[in-house]
Amino acid sequence: MYIIDRRLNPGGKSLANRQRFLRRAKAQIQRAVRQTAGDRDITDLERGGEVSIPADGVREPSFRRSGEGGVNNHILPGNKRFIEGDTIDRPPGGGGGSSAGNNGEGEDDFRFALSREEFLDLFLEDLELPDLAKRRLATVEVQGMRRAGYSVTGSPINLALLRSMRNALSRRIAMRRPKPAELAKIEEDIALLEKEGESEKLTVLREELERLQNRTKQFPYIDPVDLRYRRFEPVSRPVAQAVMFCLMDVSGSMTEHMKDLAKRFYMLLYIFLTRRYKHVEIVFIRHTHEAKEVDEDTFFHSPETGGTVVSSALREMERIVTERYPPENWNIYAAQASDGDNSPNDGATSAALLRDVILPACQYYAYLEVGSDHDRMQAGFINHKTALWQTYEALLDDGANIAMRKVNHRREIYPVFRELFRRRDAEARAP
């Protein structure tokens, strides 16, 4: 009998099968993921979790009887009162065979859990950061180090032990450096012979031993010549960091509902950026008639009153960009949320600032106009355009690179987000 401990064997044997399964049911899983995402709080999105898909697409059919029609025989244990020939009324809810058949139709839904990675992959699939390629060519690359073979000099910390020892070994073999075992053997022989007394053979052996010992001294076990060091060379890498500016109007006209919409949008953007960039920083700028950089909590929760001057926020952003995020080193994304109010005399200033300073520095600028729940009704009747919307629309007509959307309800957030970041070449095959 053998006992084999398999516990340390690599797990995840079914991983390949799982990937195949996900690939096969991809369309359905994706639909399920998006539905789930609608129901969920956005902060939960990062967690992955259970989805259920219709069993139809992953059905494994086989020839089997339908369980309808025909005489069904059941052998059952636990008879208490029946005797042969008794009749029983059919249980309500229709015919026989309810226990025998129907095992196929039962599996309408197929539930299973997705890991966080799988969930986000499916969730954000087909999305892409716009204009990334163009920018990458333009941006300066940062320097990094990369392993590049071995060198004969270097600092001790980079000593390549394996390589050095291998060199030492081959040198010892090539130079026929006596092995310790050989020396020990001769010494042993000498000791044996010494017990028997002097002889010619003993002299020969002693000479041999001396010769070998000299040779051992001549060729050391390890020699500076053997040493190798890991070599590194500098390479330039494209910028892999991004900063995300969240701009929000917090004047009195912004309701909690609107802030909630904005927050959801920012969360999505953040998740998305963190999956595309190793390093993402966020800057929160809120403004009334004056703008201030704040932390996240203050940004979303602390109340503020005042008028609305959008250009103040843009100026603040400009200041922070020049101070901390030079555009040549950073991918800059900005998302602005507002209810669309702006003081009447600020329109031209904001437009000029955006066009001349902000947009050229940005990879992407998205403007999200948040409305209240019942706004939709009115919007249906009169195509009401807010002050800020009009300002930006004018910029858009001049060819500026702004994405603009209006959102009234939280279920619209994700579709709008998808629309903004949809991969351009995916448009053709989008359903």
Q: Report, in Å, the least distance between residue 25 CB and other proteins.
A: 8
- With a CB cutoff of 8 Å and minimum separation 6, the contacts of 8 are none
- Work out whether 428 is an interface residue with other proteins (CB under 8 A): no
- Work out whether 78 is an interface residue with other proteins (CB under 8 A): yes
- Work out whether 116 is an interface residue with other proteins (CB under 8 A): no
- Work out whether 96 is an interface residue with other proteins (CB under 8 A): yes
Q: Give the residue, chosen from 36, 41, 44, 67, that forms a contact with other proteins under the rule CB under 8 A.
A: 67
Other CB atoms within 10 A of residue 123 CB: 23
Give the type of residue at 336. Answer: Q
- Work out whether 49 is an interface residue with other proteins (CB under 8 A): no
Q: Which residue, among 285, 364, 376, 371, has the nearest Cα to 331 in the 3D structure? A: 364
What is the C-alpha to C-alpha distance for residues 177 and 89, in angstroms, rounded to an integer? 99
- Work out whether 75 is an interface residue with other proteins (CB under 8 A): yes
Q: Give the residue, chosen from 59, 116, 179, 279, that forms a contact with other proteins under the rule CB under 8 A.
A: 59
- Work out whether 68 is an interface residue with other proteins (CB under 8 A): yes
What is the C-alpha to C-alpha distance for residues 80 and 62, in angstroms, rounded to an integer? 38
- Work out whether 17 is an interface residue with other proteins (CB under 8 A): yes
Q: Give the residue, chosen from 34, 54, 112, 121, that forms a contact with other proteins under the rule CB under 8 A.
A: 112
- Work out whether 307 is an interface residue with other proteins (CB under 8 A): no
- Work out whether 62 is an interface residue with other proteins (CB under 8 A): yes
Number of residues binding to other proteins, judged by CB under 8 A: 62
The residue range among 53-61, 185-193, 313-321, 334-342 that interacts with other proteins, by the rule CB under 8 A, is: 53-61
Q: Which residue, 21 or 219, is less far from other proteins as judged by CB?
A: 21
- Work out whether 66 is an interface residue with other proteins (CB under 8 A): yes
Q: Which residue, 50 or 419, is less far from other proteins as judged by CB?
A: 50
The residue range among 70-78, 166-174, 177-185, 360-368 that interacts with other proteins, by the rule CB under 8 A, is: 70-78
What is the C-alpha to C-alpha distance for residues 364 and 333, in angstroms, rounded to an integer? 5
Read off φ and ψ for residue 343, nearest 5 degrees. Answer: -70, 140
- Work out whether 345 is an interface residue with other proteins (CB under 8 A): no
Burial of 7 (0-12, 13-18, 19+ CB in 10 A): exposed
- Work out whether 276 is an interface residue with other proteins (CB under 8 A): no
The residue range among 109-117, 160-168, 279-287, 406-414 that interacts with other proteins, by the rule CB under 8 A, is: 109-117
What is the C-alpha to C-alpha distance for residues 313 and 260, in angstroms, rounded to an integer? 20
Burial of 266 (0-12, 13-18, 19+ CB in 10 A): buried
Q: Which residue, 85 or 431, is less far from other proteins as judged by CB?
A: 85
Q: Please tell me whether residue 267 adopts helix, strand or coil conformation.
A: helix
Give the type of residue at 393. Answer: E
- With a CB cutoff of 8 Å and minimum separation 6, the contacts of 121 are none
- Work out whether 54 is an interface residue with other proteins (CB under 8 A): no
Strand partners, 229: 151, 159
Chain positions 386 to 405 lying near other proteins, rule: CB under 8 A, are none
Other CB atoms within 10 A of residue 171 CB: 17
Q: Give the residue, chosen from 47, 90, 176, 279, that forms a contact with other proteins under the rule CB under 8 A.
A: 90
Give the containing element (helix H, strand E) for 312: helix 310-324
For the CA atoms of 49, 55, 59, 65, the dihedral, rounded to the nearest 10 degrees, stands at 140
Q: Report, in Å, the least distance between residue 239 CB and other proteins.
A: 36
What is the C-alpha to C-alpha distance for residues 102 and 16, in angstroms, rounded to an integer? 32
Q: Report, in Å, the least distance between residue 81 CB and other proteins.
A: 10
- Work out whether 104 is an interface residue with other proteins (CB under 8 A): yes
Exposure string over 355-377, b if 16+ CB within 10 A, otherwise e: bebbbebbbbbbbbbbbeeebee
- Work out whether 23 is an interface residue with other proteins (CB under 8 A): yes
The residue range among 67-75, 194-202, 321-329, 334-342 that interacts with other proteins, by the rule CB under 8 A, is: 67-75
Q: Which residue, 4 or 382, is less far from other proteins as judged by CB?
A: 4
The residue range among 14-22, 36-44, 240-248, 271-279 that interacts with other proteins, by the rule CB under 8 A, is: 14-22
Contacts to other proteins by CB under 8 A: 1-7, 9, 11-14, 16-24, 50, 58-80, 82-90, 95-97, 104, 110-113
